[in-house]
Structure 1
Amino acid sequence: MSSHRVTVLVLDGALPLDVGIPTQVFHPRDGLPYELTVCGVATGTVPSSEGFGYAVPQGLDALIGADTIIVPGYAPVGRPIPATVYEALRRAHARGSRIASICYGAFALADAGLLEGRRATTHWDAAEMLALRHPDILVEPNVLFVDEGSVLTSAGVAAGIDLCLHIVRRDLGVSVANDIARRLVTAPYRSGGQAQYLPRSSPAPHGDTLAATREWALTRLHEPLAVTDLAKHARMSLRTFMRRFAEETGDTPLQWVLRARVDAARALLETTKLPVDQIAERVGLGTGSNLRLHFRRILDVSPSEYRAAFSGRTILTP
């Protein structure tokens, strides 16, 4: 991947964590192609939602030439923003920029017309407002983020980390995203994956009760993992475990384990020269043909095609 310019658009009332997340994830580091720019409607100081200000060195002209634009959330939620922002976002999207929002930033994308006819999400407490204001948008209030290709939206705060790591994973593969996650001391992903290299993360509306069980499973992907084993580790009845797991991940336990195994295989394809059969055995998928089957079904590519696309990435050291 050649040099890739990420521009964070800070609007009046921007939420501090929403601004901090993309600037941390895409901060220039050795081996990463990202160039980070922060801008506002105009140069100068942009007031935050918490009473302090952000010093932004550039105005909306910074969006020209941006490969990825990220709009952090701002408060009050849904308030009008300058029409020049909507126009700048529309022009950038027409030029081919990828545009993403964190939390309430989805309202800027929606008001600019970029979410029309698309799926989208925002913080759960504003999802109904977004749906009422824009009935042409399929608002999904119970997911961490939604990837519609050139336009992406995330739920609040921590979901912005999931979104940004997802973008890195799309651009540079699993290993680089995992390395950045380690730097941030956060989970590299909270669920599995779907087609076009896109991991599907899902909500945890009732908390992360089963987080320890999922972590336990991730260290044992090479072993047989029955649903009864997971339920036993969680100290729940099978029925309660199945219901709670679906609530927290959006997947059945077996679907989640399968996607986790495919993601583990992705990392090995990127960072090793192991044959596909050995990788399949290491991640608990048994045979190379079984790995190829699930790889093709979930990612729509073969393991060899994936290795050709993502092998040899620079792995950052702590």
Structure 2
Amino acid sequence: MSTSSHVFDAIACNNNRTRPVKDSAAVKHVGIVIYDGFSLLAAGTLAEALHVANELQFEAQSRSLTYRVNLLSVRGGTVSCSSSMSVWTEQLAGREFDSLDNLFVTGGSGVARASADDGLIDLLRRVSAKSVTITAIGNAQMLLSAAGLGKRDWPSIKQGIRAESPPSVPEHERDQALMSSLALLRRDLGAELAVRVADRLGSAGEISLAGSFEEMCDQTLAEKARASARWLAQNCSKPISVVDAARMFSMSERNFLRLFKREIGLTPSKYLLRARLELTCKLLESSDLPVDKIARRTGLSNGERLSKLFRKEFSMSPTEFRGRSRKRL
């Protein structure tokens, strides 16, 4: 993992300092909610991005906003991540919710168990009632759904239905956490600083971040739609979603869907699927990779799903397409 341990050391030191009053325009309080089995990669990336934003402002002697980051859990104390490393947290219940400006909730292998924790779910509801901005990273959407704060895409654990977390994709966890933090930085400090943070940190999954933020500067709505289409095409091999694209371009999902369809002529999901199928065709023609491996390389999860989509779009299997394309050569 690229996140340096000094980021978590800095968080621990912040917890012991006297906190400035919330009315201070120079400080923004950001909480990162974690639980046993959380993704250390996602939490570390969020913390590091905000830490770098503080450093860049200090270097430029233009510190207009300082981010104060705290690791939070429902009971406080030691919490273990999915790789069994332990970190120290503040108790979320012991904090004044009004002191929080933004709250990030990380995903991880323990998200299903955390979703059954009534104490955590109740706290998320109470924080939301205080109008604190809550952002889920990766499969943490499951926690928000359990709290009634997001789309109910997951079965209810309380009804005795076993809820499985989606497979963990470490590189994607870092990219999504980085995108979410960059969107916050752009809103607070402008696109220029967000681009500098993206340049400093880079992207483990090679998602084009800095370039996309540069494109966002001074764009018309039509330009923003075209830029988002390019971003979807450039990153279609990654497990990205339409929600990721909307966050990337600082838009609500609803407005993004409406703008994209109006300007591009397709919904973002159909455009993304088309880009993935085009990449699939190229890989079928130019490589001997198994269909299942091609599916993973094109963001289509597995060979079974790829085959169903391929038959629906082209009325043939991927193997048949590969055979026909090579006969033409």
TM-score of the two chains, using structure 1 as the length reference: 0.49
TM-score of the two chains, using structure 2 as the length reference: 0.48
Larger radius of gyration: 2
